[in-house]
Amino acid sequence: MTLPVGWGVATLPELIGADGVFSDGDWVETKDQNPDGEIRLTQLADIGEGFWRNRSERYMTSAAAHRLRCTFLEPGDVLVARMPDPLGRACQFPGDPRRCVTAVDVCIVRPGASSVDARLLMWWLNTPYIRKAVSGLQAGTTRKRISRKNLATIPLPIPPLAEQRRIVAAIEEQVSQLDGARVAEVFRRSLLQAELGQGWPRRVLGDVADTQLGKMLSPKSQAGANPRPYLRNKNVQWWRIDVDDVLTMDFDEREVAKFELVVGDVLVCEGGEVGRAAIWHGEIGGCCFQKALHRVRPSAELSAEYLVLVLRWLAYRNEFAAHVTGSTIAHLPQEDLRQVSIPLPTPEEQEAIVSRVLDRLDQIDRLVVAAVAAEVQASRLRQSILGTAFRGELVRQDPADEPASVLLERIAAERAAAPKPTRRRLEKASA
């Protein structure tokens, strides 16, 4: 490949400045995790091709993270999946209300303040050229993976810094037009605003529904003699209950009377993405719920279907923020949930709103299905955009730009002048 004028070539280690990081995530075993911990453990499932999926629901305590000398993530870090699918995909960590670490099969790339544009690195790692190079360096018989050592050998074309920023802007403008799912979410948000933002009289939720926080999870309850299935935060998604991974714990007769779900109950996430809600339709017999969830049992004044629409609308409008507590993990206490103000038209008007919204949401979902069917074409277009950028053909070259060679020399000089670490690994558990 012939490089454009002013470009250079470097490997990932050569692009890491004195304040940067190039390391694997941390080996965090099941025994090191704690569902009530304040540190989020992000995983391979969170990493998409150029976007953050935000799927994981695992945690650990600060004490465990410091004991293991974990690397705490920073917004803008480039995370590279060392296992498929696909192998070598990369995204940027957008930040999280909690402090976060990541699993060992994820590589952390933090170029540093005086280095290359991290967004460019992320897009470069997702190009067909680098994906092909990663494939050629993979190892493993059952599950393919690439080691950080092999990832570090791949040469990357480096444009001048000013051109890097022009390339990133052009890529993001063109790729965003291919994201049908994001467009569908805009439609959903606008639809709910049109139906619910009409100045309906408001009431606090506690006036028109009974709320109950679930049972506290403990090792003792998990080993009891009366196991029952229970739902947790990850089982409740917007609009639906996911029963693919339901655990059991002990509930005595008194607790069954208090925590057993009935058809029509609305389950609301107490932590994480607070306010996320779905209706229980009796998917599993005798199912209960844990403290990570609120059960909301509407009165005759409030439709369960309407309530879920309202909660989604409130989440779009960030109205839960006034009720959330916690500096590391967001929580929605039961009393605060009861004080959430909701628009409350008559039951007849609620029914009409639900009918109109669900019909239009169904139309949007059909459009999403069509978009997914066209994903192969969109993927090809995305790869074409990245390939054009990688060859230096997406934006104009400016002879006045500082050459990449000067940038690479400056990174190397700053790294050489930095104090050498005295420990085997980088200092990890930063305050």
Residue 386 is assigned to a structural domain of this protein? no
User: Could you tell me which residues come within 8 angstroms of residue 155 by beta carbon, excluding any fewer than 6 positions away?
Assistant: 9, 10, 11
Residues 53-82 have a mean pLDDT of: 94
* Helical (H) or strand (E) element with 228: strand 227-231
* Confidence at residue 367, expressed as pLDDT on a 0 to 100 scale: 66
* Torsion angle (degrees, nearest 10) of CA 420, 116, 96, 171: -160
Does one domain contain both 25 and 98? yes
Q: Which two tokens stand for residue 158?
A: 């480096």
- Which pLDDT score, from 0 to 100, does residue 162 have? 94
Confidence of residue 427 (pLDDT cuts 50, 70, 90): very low
pLDDT per residue as tens digits for the range 16-43: 999 999 999 999 998 999 988 999 999 9
What does the alpha-carbon distance between residue 383 and residue 178 come to, in Å, rounded to a whole number?
Answer: 11
181 is a domain residue:
no
Range of weakest confidence among 159-168, 217-226, 233-242, 413-422: 217-226
Distant-in-sequence, close-in-space partners of 67: CB < 8 Å, separation ≥ 6: none
- Please check whether residues 127 and 52 belong to one and the same domain: yes
Which of these three, 317, 344, 371, is where a domain ends?
344
Answer yes or no: is 47 within a domain: yes
Buried b (16+ CB within 10 A) or exposed e, 385-398: bbebbbebebbebe
pLDDT value, residue 314: 94
Asked if residue 325 has pLDDT above 90, the reply is no
Asked whether the beta carbons of 27 and 83 are under 8 A apart, the reply is: no
Asked if residue 171 is part of any domain, the answer here is: no
Whether 388 maps to a domain, the answer reads no
Which pLDDT score, from 0 to 100, does residue 298 have? 97
pLDDT grade for 424, boundaries at 50, 70 and 90:
very low
DSSP symbols for 170-203: HHHHHHHTT-HHHHHHHHHHHHHHHHH-S---EE
Identify the H or E element spanning 90.
strand 90-92
Q: What is the pLDDT of residue 378?
A: 58
Domain boundary among 299, 324, 344: 344
Q: What is the pLDDT of residue 205?
A: 97
Q: What is the pLDDT of residue 246?
A: 93
In order, the DSSP letters of 126-164 are: TSHHHHHHHHHT-B-SSS-B--HHHHTT--EEE--HHHH
Q: Does the structure show a pLDDT above 50 at 431?
A: no
For 206, counting Cβ atoms within 10 Å of its Cβ (0-12 exposed, 13-18 middle, 19+ buried), the class is middle
The answer for 45, left when phi > 0, alpha when psi is -120 to 50, beta otherwise, is: alpha
Q: pLDDT tens across 288-307, in order?
A: 999 999 999 999 999 999 99
Burial pattern 289-318, b for ≥16 Cβ within 10 A else e, equals bbbbbbbbebeeebbbbbbbbbbbbbbeee
- Is 139 inside any structural domain? yes
SS3 call for 69: coil
pLDDT in tens, 247-303: 999 999 999 999 999 999 999 999 888 999 999 999 999 999 999 999 999 999 999
Pairing of strands 106-110, 90-92: unpaired
Q: Is residue 241 domain-shared with residue 334, that is, in the same domain?
A: yes
| Within-domain flag for 151 | yes
- Please give the tally of structural domains in the chain: 2
Structure tokens at 375: 């994903």
If asked whether residues 26 and 149 sit together in one domain, one would say yes
CATH number of the domain at 276, please: 3.90.220.20
The mean predicted confidence, pLDDT, of the chain is 89
What is the structure's pLDDT at 428? 45
For residue 288, list its beta bridge partners: 230
pLDDT of residue 387: 85
206 and 129 fall within a common domain:
no
Does a cis peptide bond (omega within 30 degrees of 0) precede residue 85? yes
Residue 430 has pLDDT above 50, yes or no: no
Q: Which residue has the higher pLDDT, 85 or 43?
A: 43
Quick one: 146 and 234 in the same domain?
A: no
pLDDT given for residue 312 in this prediction: 94
Model pLDDT for residues 335-378, shown as the tens digit of each residue: 999 999 999 999 999 999 999 998 888 887 776 666 555 555 55
For residue 172, the model assigns a pLDDT of 83
In Å, the largest CA–CA distance within the chain is 78
∠ CA(364), CA(367), CA(369), 5° rounding? 115
413 lies in the same domain as 269: no
69 & 123 share domain: yes
Q: Indicate whether 91 and 222 sit together in one domain.
A: no
Q: At which of 302, 325, 344 does a domain end?
A: 344
Q: Is the predicted pLDDT of residue 422 greater than 70, yes or no?
A: no
Same domain, 19 and 72: yes
Contact between residue 51 and residue 95 where contact means Cβ atoms under 8 Å apart: no
Pair (338, 232) in one structural domain: yes
- For residues 129 and 210, membership in a common domain is answered with no
Task: Tell me which residue range forms the domain holding 49.
Answer: 8-160+402-417
Asked whether residue 76 is assigned to any structural domain, the reply reads yes
In angstroms, rounded to a whole number, what is the distance separating the alpha carbons of residues 379 and 113?
A: 32
Q: Show Cβ contacts of residue 275 under 8 Å, excluding neighbours closer than 6 positions.
A: 268, 269, 311, 314, 315, 320, 332
Which pLDDT belongs to residue 376? 52
Secondary structure (3-state) at 359: helix
Query: Alpha-carbon distance 26 to 419, whole Å?
Result: 24
- Pairing outcome for strands 21-24 and 106-110: antiparallel
Question: What's the pTM?
Answer: 0.59
Segment 172-190, tens digit of pLDDT? 887 766 565 566 677 788 8
